[in-house]
Structure 1
Amino acid sequence: MVECRKRKGQIIMPIFYHVEPSELRDQTGGYGEAFLVHQNEKRVDDETICKWRAALNEVGGLKGWNVENVANRHEGQLVKQVVASVLNELKKAYLVVSDILVGVEDHVKEVLGMIGTGTDDAKIVGIHGMGGIGKTTLAKVVYNKLSFDFANYCFLADVRETSHSKGIEWLQNQLISKLSKQAHPSTTSCVDEGIRTIEERFSSKKVLILLDDVDEKSQLTALLGRRGCFGRGSRILITTRNAIVLHEFGVELTYLVIGLDPEKSLKLFSKYVFRRNHPPIEKMEQSREIVEIAQGLPLLLEIMGSALSRYGQKEEMWDDYLVKWKKGPIEEIRSKLMISYEALDSNQRQIFLDVACLFNGCDKNTVIYMWRDCDLCPTEGLEVLQLMSLIKIEEDDRLWMHDQLKDLGREIVSQESGGESNTQSRLWNHKVALKVLLREKVNPRSDFLCA
């Protein structure tokens, strides 16, 4: 039980039935006598006995029930207390996560290190990254590891979508209901009333809150009130594609989720397809090709792996899927990536599409001249694209975009131009781009030269 508590975070609820906790902690009384018998008769080895002693010592220090402390030693009353506590623990929102996880534990350790478990001040941590990178999974694992220390907790999924479909007031009522442990609390009629209720009821409570997929500062204000309005020791986790939202709300602790490296990607893909850590030799080459297409995106590896797992190792199916996935954005992830694109303004979209079609791999300082000539405010635009994890600017100042985002951008341009080749239509709209690149003696990537 102690081992499960350490590894899986499971709960031990000891009942000290006609035995004092100190007898377990110190191994006195009957426990001490039993250990002497084991040691004298050499029934088990010394290492096992040490483990037993450590486990009993730990359990003896846990909060539990002692039948000696129940009024009139009424065992029926003790049973009622135990059942009520167990039911309360079972109601805890232990969030379900995939049992196929690779590389998450390192992220969890870093986030927990940022939060700190030994401090009493309330802390807010924002977890951000591109769609499908694993933000929600990471936040759920962290939430599960913290939840056992909180009596008041709340998980709100899909804040962006729910606030648009049901209204932010609905989410406020859900938060109030879960933190109050009331099935039907009084409902708030407007956002301001909800903010006031949250601040008044929970300003002194230690709470654990996870807000998943936030996309506007107003959502955080409505659900969290003023920063620090919750009690000491509170922990609040926020996931978002848009780090700008975190900065606007004043979140100081932020964590960028990055993709998996090639080896971890291969391991995750293999777990979905073959239920093992590595592909069989005969599928290794094709598996590495697929992993290269995914470029470390866990959701994409799951989609690809789950699709192929239905067909085992049928060569023709693997070949067909590889051809299909190399052609362009994979449909199952396209909608998730479009959410980020649609959140951009017109200037930012223009810059995004230019990078997708032409300037992936180019020096940003060179391309900025063109965007300035087009009045696109490139400095601000590139900053927004970075904060929304739509591009990266590498150490040598070169622009980098995930292949799935690049394919999405090219598809958008192709649709806007009535099916015309995307790179060609982009060049037609930006003749000055070629002049700038040649003037600066830039060596564009091959996709630019082909266009």
Structure 2
Amino acid sequence: RHEWKFIQKIVEEVSNKLNHRYLSGAKYPVGIHSRVQYLTDLLSIETEAVCIVGICGMGGIGKTTIAKAFFNEQFHKFDGCSFVTSVREIAKGPKGLIGLQEQLLFDILRKKKNLNINSVDRGINVIRDRLHNRKVLIVLDDVDQLDQLNSLVRERDWFGPGSRIVITTRDVHLLKVLVVDSIYTAQKLYRGESLQLFSWHAFREGHPKEDYVHLSEAIVDYLGGIPLALQVLGSFLFDKRSIPEWESALEKLKRIPDNQIQEQLKISFDALEDDELKDIFLDIACFFIGSGEGDVVRILDGCGFSSKIAIRVLTDKGLLTINEMNKLTMHDLLRDMGREIVRKESPKELGKRSRLWRHEDALHVLTKHTVRAKQMNFC
């Protein structure tokens, strides 16, 4: 009888591991290995303490790709594992936080029966009771609210010794509140990596074709090391086989940014809690990139904003950076996303837009008397 129970346990463990399939990763994993190795070092895989690491960064920077590659390398070392994708979206669904708890438990326990989760508090109790003696690997992808973390991984003693938890988010503030062990800020690709990734998508080989080297380098420089952007634009240009088509695409990209890239980046903007934060982001994107933080604070506070706090929030959410010279900077794609939001207020009539950052546009509106009944900012 005892032998049968022992055999059944072995069968369950083997079945549990076999049920976990490798996650689909990057088609062309350029630059992934070194970044996964860095994450592995942060998580100190061999130690027995429960360790939590957050991966933060702007949209499209590769947070999910890094987390998936790490998961695929490590999941076989654990008693159970769960990669919860799109936490933000699941939390908005009909089951909300309970749906997240159920997915986490099903992934690790491989069964839905006898969970009886009818409230978030009940779900927390089940997670603690069922997982406190299991060495688990958990990845929570695209977290955007603290209650998501509190309902899933608030306390380390909910999980067994040696457990590892990875959280990806655009908001570093959430990681600070949870008091994670380390924060890994995902970095953009180096120029050589960018050119290689772009080339794999545009040419299906690791370098540009001879006649397209200059244009490829111009596109890569504009996209600034963002993997999502390199993938989208490279794939778009794959079947474009004339230099004029490429030149036209680059010119259009600079005037009107690609929709797919913009929609990914705009998620962070849409998640800003109030209109004042959105206004300050748009003001900085249109007028104040490269300006000193103190000067910008004085100008915006003079307009009735609480800009010091807003700048900190925008920085935490990966929408803004303050460099070593204390000047405000942001990625060109984020800048263009902000300006595209303003352009879409009135694509054809400049006078109906809330902000004009090009001097010739402002001059046209003022001399042609085309301002409409709307507050407008010039710079």
Specify if TM > 0.5: yes
In the alignment, which residue of structure 1 is the partner of 2:49?
Answer: 121
| Aligned-pair CA distance for 1:211 | 0.6
* Structure 1 letter corresponding to 2:91: S
Q: Distance in 1 between the 2:34 and 2:210 partners?
A: 28
Match for residue 329 of structure 2 among 400, 409, 415: 400
* Structure 2 letter corresponding to 1:365: G
In the alignment, which residue of structure 1 is the partner of 2:313?
Answer: 384
- Counterparts in 2 of 1:281 and 1:371: CA distance versus 1, 3 Å: same
- Counterparts in 2 of 1:244 and 1:95: CA distance versus 1, 3 Å: same
Q: Distance in 2 between the 1:226 and 1:86 partners?
A: 28
Say whether residues 1:135 and 2:96 are aligned partners.
no
Q: Distance in 1 between the 2:56 and 2:65 partners?
A: 12
More moved, 379-388 vs 130-139: 379-388
Match for residue 265 of structure 2 among 303, 322, 337: 337
* Structure 1 letter corresponding to 2:35: H
In the alignment, which residue of structure 2 is the partner of 1:7?
Answer: none
Say whether residues 1:161 and 2:161 are aligned partners.
no
Q: Deviations over 1:315-340 (max 9, x none)?
A: 23212321221113210012211110
Aligned partner of residue 284 in structure 2, secondary structure: helix
Q: Distance in 2 between the 1:122 and 1:200 partners?
A: 16
In the alignment, which residue of structure 1 is the partner of 2:367?
Answer: none
In the alignment, which residue of structure 1 is the partner of 2:146?
Answer: 217
* Structure 2 letter corresponding to 1:309: F
Q: Distance in 1 between the 2:347 and 2:238 partners?
A: 37
In the alignment, which residue of structure 2 is the partner of 1:200?
Answer: 129
Task: Give the percent of matched residue pairs that are identical in Structure 1 and Structure 2.
Answer: 38
Aligned partner of residue 161 in structure 1, secondary structure: helix
Q: Distance in 2 between the 1:365 and 1:140 partners?
A: 40
Match for residue 103 of structure 1 among 31, 36, 42: 31
Q: Distance in 2 between the 1:376 and 1:288 partners?
A: 40
Q: Distance in 2 between the 1:85 and 1:230 partners?
A: 18
| Aligned-pair CA distance for 1:87 | 4.9
Match for residue 200 of structure 2 among 271, 296, 301: 271
Alpha-carbon contact 1:357-1:423 (below 8 Å) kept: no
Q: Deviations over 1:103-132 (max 9, x none)?
A: 122211211111112210000110010000
Q: TM-score, normalised by structure 1?
A: 0.73
| Aligned-pair CA distance for 1:88 | 4.5
Say whether residues 1:324 and 2:252 are aligned partners.
yes
Q: Distance in 2 between the 1:193 and 1:251 partners?
A: 24
In the alignment, which residue of structure 2 is the partner of 1:230?
Answer: 159
Q: Distance in 1 between the 2:30 and 2:70 partners?
A: 15
Alpha-carbon contact 2:285-2:335 (below 8 Å) kept: yes
| Aligned-pair CA distance for 1:400 | 1.2
In the alignment, which residue of structure 1 is the partner of 2:168?
Answer: 239
Q: Distance in 1 between the 2:69 and 2:167 partners?
A: 13
Larger C-alpha radius of gyration, 1 or 2?
1
Say whether residues 1:300 and 2:229 are aligned partners.
yes
Q: Distance in 2 between the 1:253 and 1:190 partners?
A: 31
- The CA RMSD over aligned residues, in Å, is 2.5
* Structure 1 letter corresponding to 2:202: V
More moved, 182-191 vs 95-104: 182-191
Alpha-carbon contact 2:154-2:178 (below 8 Å) kept: no
Q: Deviations over 1:176-221 (max 9, x none)?
A: 1122121545341111111111112111211100110000010011
Alpha-carbon contact 2:115-2:126 (below 8 Å) kept: no
- Counterparts in 2 of 1:277 and 1:404: CA distance versus 1, 3 Å: same
* Structure 2 letter corresponding to 1:240: T
Q: Distance in 2 between the 1:364 and 1:418 partners?
A: 31
Question: Which runs of 5 or more structure 1 residues have no equivalent in the other structure?
Answer: 1-70, 72-77, 429-449
Q: Distance in 2 between the 1:265 and 1:225 partners?
A: 37
* Structure 2 letter corresponding to 1:338: K
Aligned partner of residue 213 in structure 1, secondary structure: strand
- Counterparts in 2 of 1:422 and 1:411: CA distance versus 1, 3 Å: farther
* Structure 2 letter corresponding to 1:129: G
In the alignment, which residue of structure 2 is the partner of 1:66?
Answer: none
- Counterparts in 2 of 1:146 and 1:423: CA distance versus 1, 3 Å: farther
In the alignment, which residue of structure 2 is the partner of 1:261?
Answer: 190
| Aligned-pair CA distance for 1:272 | 1.1
| Aligned-pair CA distance for 1:425 | 4.1
Match for residue 90 of structure 1 among 13, 18, 22: 18
Q: TM-score, normalised by structure 2?
A: 0.86
- Matching of residues 14-163 of structure 1 within 5 Å: 87-163=15-91
In the alignment, which residue of structure 1 is the partner of 2:302?
Answer: 373
Alpha-carbon contact 1:414-1:420 (below 8 Å) kept: no
Q: Distance in 2 between the 1:113 and 1:407 partners?
A: 35
Q: Distance in 1 between the 2:48 and 2:351 partners?
A: 55
In the alignment, which residue of structure 2 is the partner of 1:10?
Answer: none
Structure with higher RCO (Cα < 8 A, 6+ apart):
2
> How many residues were matched structurally?
352
Alpha-carbon contact 2:84-2:141 (below 8 Å) kept: yes
More moved, 269-278 vs 282-291: 269-278
In the alignment, which residue of structure 1 is the partner of 2:117?
Answer: 188
In the alignment, which residue of structure 2 is the partner of 1:42?
Answer: none
- Counterparts in 2 of 1:180 and 1:424: CA distance versus 1, 3 Å: closer
Say whether residues 1:314 and 2:270 are aligned partners.
no
Alpha-carbon contact 2:345-2:352 (below 8 Å) kept: no
| Aligned-pair CA distance for 1:360 | 1.0
- Counterparts in 2 of 1:417 and 1:271: CA distance versus 1, 3 Å: closer
Q: Deviations over 1:215-239 (max 9, x none)?
A: 0010011112424421110000110
Aligned partner of residue 133 in structure 1, secondary structure: coil
Aligned partner of residue 143 in structure 2, secondary structure: coil
| Aligned-pair CA distance for 1:302 | 0.2
Q: Distance in 1 between the 2:118 and 2:15 partners?
A: 32
* Structure 2 letter corresponding to 1:174: Q
